[in-house]
A and B are shown apart, each in its own frame.
Chain A
Amino acid sequence: EADIYQTPRYLVIGTGKKITLECSQTMGHDKMYWYQQDPGMELHLIHYSYGVNSTEKGDLSSESTVSRIRTEHFPLTLESARPSHTSQYLCASSDTGIINSPLHFGNGTRLTVT
């Protein structure tokens, strides 16, 4: 059973606020990812990490930033939220030691910026 947790599940905030979406996994996975899911359900990779102190931008341009100070923790931060950031954000992790290992997903954070 996968153990990857995202908080909060739902967040409604005003424009201009700084927010951090939390993601933690207890499986010891080196690889972690953030996906943004649009209303049409398509997933867009916005950030990923191979391990501690490693972060890369994904395919979709994003104004968010991430950090990876500990293996188990991969938070995503928006310095100044805007209505265009309203979306579902999904965090995932995978095991580097297994070739083509599957991703394990959290339940997501649904963000609404008013």
Chain B
Amino acid sequence: GDSVTQMEGPVTLSEEACLTINCTYTATGYPSLFWYVQYPGEGLQLLLKATKADDKGSNKGFEATYRKETTSFHLEKGSVQVSDSAVYFCFPPFGSSNTGKLIFGQGTTLQVKP
């Protein structure tokens, strides 16, 4: 069945370090792919998206490339900041528009230290 696997956290980095959070999925068909971010005490916000194979989504210095051949959508940032400390969720919206069941990855907590 459809599933998504995210890199386990927590991930602790020093400021200006490079970040990669892995996300792989299995799905019937080729959905659009999203990364969401959740800052402490808030709901989830859309961080970036990619709608088809080889698309690269980017926002706030974060990037992710839709790799159809490896069914992956890894999140990357070249230089993290303390303000990037949050929980990150990979989200391929499985199911057709008729099912409505939308399943998230388990989330990866990132802590950036000054």
Main secondary structure of the interface of B (DSSP, over half): loop
- Cβ A48 vs Cβ B51 within 8 A: no
Near A by CB (< 8 A), chain B positions 74-112 give 87, 89, 91, 93, 97, 100-104, 106-107, 109
Q: Which residues of A contact B (CB under 8 A)?
A: 6, 31, 33, 35, 40-43, 45, 48-50, 56, 58-59, 90, 92, 94, 96, 99-100, 102-108
Work out how many contacts link A and B, with CB atoms closer than 8 A: 62
Bound complex: CA A100 to CA B94 (Å): 9
B49 → A minimal CB distance (Å): 6
Closest A residue by C-beta to B87: A41
- Cβ A105 vs Cβ B93 within 8 A: no
Contacts of A33 in B (CB 8 A): 100, 102
Q: Which residues of B contact A (CB under 8 A)?
A: 31-32, 34, 36, 38, 41-46, 49, 51, 87, 89, 91, 93, 97, 100-104, 106-107, 109
A44 → B minimal CB distance (Å): 9
Contacts of A104 in B (CB 8 A): 46
- Cβ A106 vs Cβ B43 within 8 A: yes
> Can you show 23 pairs from A to B with CB atoms below 8 A apart?
A6-B43, A33-B102, A35-B104, A41-B87, A43-B89, A43-B104, A43-B107, A45-B101, A45-B102, A48-B100, A56-B100, A59-B103, A92-B43, A92-B44, A94-B102, A96-B97, A99-B32, A103-B46, A103-B91, A104-B46, A105-B43, A105-B45, A107-B42
Bound complex: CA A49 to CA B38 (Å): 23
- Cβ A41 vs Cβ B107 within 8 A: yes
